[in-house]
Chain A
Amino acid sequence: MNTLIQTRRSFIKTTLKAGAFVSFAANAPVSLLRAATTAPQRIGDTVLVVLQLSGGNDGLNTVIPYADDAYHRGRPTLRQMARGAHKLDSHLAFHPRMEGFYRLYRDGLLTIVQGVGYPDADRNHPGGMHNWHTAAPRAPKTQTGWLGRAADRLWKPAEANVPAMFVGAIPQPFAANAEQVIVPSVRSPRELLSQSFSPVPAEPGVSWLNSLRRATAVVQANNRRIESVMAASSSADYPKFQLAEELRAIAQLIRADLGVRIFFTELGGGNIGGFDNHAGQLGNHCSLVHQLSESVAAFIRDLQRDKLHERVLLMTYSEFGRTVRENGRRGTDHGAAQPVFLAGGRLKGGLCGAHPSLTDVDKDGLKFHTDFRRVYATALDRWLGLDSRSVLSASFEPLDVLKA
């Protein structure tokens, strides 16, 4: 006991005598950054960015089957004409306000996974979203989310690198709910800065105190990395949307190389989000897909400047797609299958899977052919290098969308 306390005592003395105190001024971070130690770079780790579209995105007015008569018949007021849309082929086109997505697609940086869903899809907002969050539609009492479980698999408690982070203003969606990992929510990398004192070097041996000393050093190294990244990349060109700001923050956090493997963000405002357009859909949806397309494009272009896009895979999802036919109030109702968008530098690009039929439908919702957990398995197995069965509790075949 005495020796134990002796150790602590001498450590405190050393700290005091070394003059380790850093100014307690409110804006101290910059000065203390210089004193921080350098942590080793973690080069080459892949990063998954998951983007939730809240409310149920209308896939048919995002990727438009302009050559399909059934589309034009079902949507007398909401349909988009071929003229002005960005044609992908003789059948499909991106919405006219989705130029960014179109260019990414043309450059092979974007893949559209068509017809994504699951059996007996829940068409209520909370139930549908809960299924996408848990990845367990048949086990609604599941208490964790799929990203939370992935974070728990990636988590190494003694190293203190947080494996997943939510970037946004809404309460953290349930997908990030983990048993072990505390997944932070931030709006700006600045929230991760702290005023702290020069780290005390860890002593040899494994102990929680040593882990804490190393973690303190990591906090300080991160301070320096975040500050320098924020100073350097503020010039990147992002449109003035909240989603764009959040993706800019994610790009900064990726550049700062903090060891975060999963970023999670959102468009639509959470709860029953902005994509839920039962009436007067046209202008609102147009604005949302424009924000989506231009923000994601700016993000990928930003990362492309230093080839970081090759380390990044972004994926979108919504709780469900929408009905083929508009509902008489210039809106659409809750549907089923939807397109999932993947963006990044190591995609094969193009389309994955056929566009679902607009006439062979289920209660006016598109039928799925690709289970959403195959998309998740792709992200987990092929991108993050996890065993997807440990996260999804079952085996799902990954999609062939990534370059070798």
Chain B
Amino acid sequence: MATLTQQQFDPASAWARYEPDARRPWNLALAGHLYRRAAFGASWGQLQRALRDGPQRTVDALLRPVGDVAAFNRQYDELETPANDENSSNDLRAWWLQRMIRTPHPLQETMTLFWHGHFGVNAAKVNSARAVQQHLQLLRRHALGSFREMLAGVVKDAAVFLTLDAKASRKAFPDEHLARWFLEAFTVGPGRFSDRDVREVARAFSGCFVLQNQLRFIERERDAGTKRILGQEGIFTGEDVARILAEQPATAQTIVRKVYRWLISETAEPDERLLSPLVESFAKNHDVLQLAETMLRSNLFFSAAAYLQRMKSPVEFALGIVKGLEETVSTPPLAEALVRLGQNLLHPPTAKGWLGGQNWINHATLAGRHNLAAALLKSDGAFGGKLNPAAVASKHGTDARLFLDLFLQGDAEPSGDSGTDARRAAYAAITMPEFQLA
């Protein structure tokens, strides 16, 4: 196996645009790779089109799709709006999955999922479907926008405060738990701040109260004194905290490193030198779209250092099947099925989100993935029997062998044993160990 790892790239060539040549040709495998990372998977038609368009034009379309994304999102925002505040967030999970399947801008949804994991909001703690919806909308609005603006929204977001048990930040009892979480998990990262910074950030958040599921500012509970946070001094509030933390170079490192795990590789930690050009830009412009764009267009992305170097999350596993088979499925039971695989959307285990990687796979969740694959392919049952491998194969003028190319982009040759039953062949492909990797 080729062992073209990140160490063999100097930063300049790693992040240079990938231009196919005889040694590194553009092919079905790389098209599948791009769609797995940027779009939850692809249909056969999308893969064929990508082959014709070449890598850079395909990336163009994934970054800046031609469809009316705003209109689509408005429609779904309306559809998913809970009838009342007390409604369970379970409906939101199902609507989000449906949105992921149908969106003209899947990269926006994968990055929204990324940010959901980053801020780790838990609907069970928020206990208001509307507050959870507003949080998700905040993430989606900035998913490929400015991290600085996103953080400015997060410090006013009731769902984040409720998830961190920070209902009332009183002057007399500044919430150090909340402060520590902002510093350690959301921005600069462990070891890059002092206990004093924690206390000062907590003071800056004083006066923040969650009342009726909205974040309110109670002036009399505000600590109006001077605070000193990461070397800066002023009469800071939560908004200042967002600005100061977003501007820290350490925050750029945290975010770039985490997006690297999301888009490029979970199997190896990148060294600082490799990331430094991206960190430098991100520290200046906080631009997530530009960061994602650099990564998705790069030589490194289209190399063995990235290829199959991530574990699919349960969402990616299930949607890869659904997108490949060109249909949608009933998403309320899908959201429930994902709980059993360890990914209860809107309910991450802690505010650190899902740690992912090999943690996704234990013998129970792997058996669960096989059983979900079988249930999705069944001609009846909870998912409505909507996925029809035989119809997909015949639509593309081929037979059961299609599924090895579609799901694994393997170049399998005709074989007496491969069988002609489309469901069986599709099931075989999606229960392969390879299909668990992204």
Contact = CB atoms under 8 A, between A and B. Distances in A.
Interface of A: 1-5, 7-9, 11-13, 15-21, 24, 140-141, 143-144, 148, 155, 157-158, 160-162, 165, 177-182, 184-186, 192-197, 200, 207-209, 211-213, 215-216, 218-219, 222-223, 258
Contacts of A185: 340
A170 to B, nearest CB: 14
Given A160-B366, A194-B366, A209-B308, 6 more contacts: A21-B424, A162-B364, A185-B340, A194-B374, A212-B434, A219-B370
Contacts of B27: 5
9 contacts: A7-B1, A12-B404, A17-B416, A19-B417, A182-B341, A192-B363, A208-B311, A212-B436, A219-B366
A179 B363 contact: no
Interface of B: 1-2, 4, 24-25, 27, 29-30, 164-165, 177, 267, 302-304, 307-309, 311, 340-342, 349-352, 355, 357-368, 370-371, 374, 404, 408-413, 415-419, 421, 423-424, 427-428, 431-434, 436-437
Given A4-B1, A143-B351, A196-B431, A160 B363 contact: yes
A4 B371 contact: no
Contacts of B363: 160-162, 192, 215, 218-219, 222, 258
Contacts of B307: 1, 4
B154 to A, nearest CB: 18
Contact of A179 (B24, B350, B365, B415): B350
A8 B350 contact: no
Nearest to A10: B410
Nearest to B401: A16
A196 B370 contact: yes
B4 A1 contact: yes
A9 B411 contact: yes
Contacts of B359: 155, 157, 180-182
Contacts of A143: 349-352
A8 B408 contact: yes
Main secondary structure of the interface of B (DSSP, over half): loop
A212 B352 contact: no
Nearest to A156: B358
A208 B267 contact: yes
A116 B34 CA distance: 57
Contacts of B416: 17
A178 B362 CA distance: 14
Contact of B437 (A181, A193, A197, A212): A212
B267 A9 contact: no
Contacts of A161: 362-363
B2 A2 contact: yes
A31 to B, nearest CB: 14
B368 A194 contact: yes
A35 B201 CA distance: 60
A3 B304 CA distance: 10
Contact of A165 (B304, B364, B427): B364
B433 A200 contact: yes
Contacts of A4: 1-2, 304, 307
Nearest to B423: A24
Contacts of A186: 364
A13 B308 CA distance: 19
A153 to B, nearest CB: 14
B418 A3 contact: no
Contacts of A197: 428, 431-432
Closest 3 pairs between A and B when the two form their complex, measured CB to CB:
A182-B342, A212-B433, A157-B358
Contacts of A16: 404, 412, 415, 417-418
A300 B169 CA distance: 50
Contacts of B365: 162, 182, 184
Contacts of A195: 370-371, 374, 427
B367 A219 contact: yes
Interface centre among B349, B351, B413 (most CB of A within 10 A): B349
B303 A1 contact: yes
Contacts of B302: 1
B360 A182 contact: yes
A209 B362 contact: no
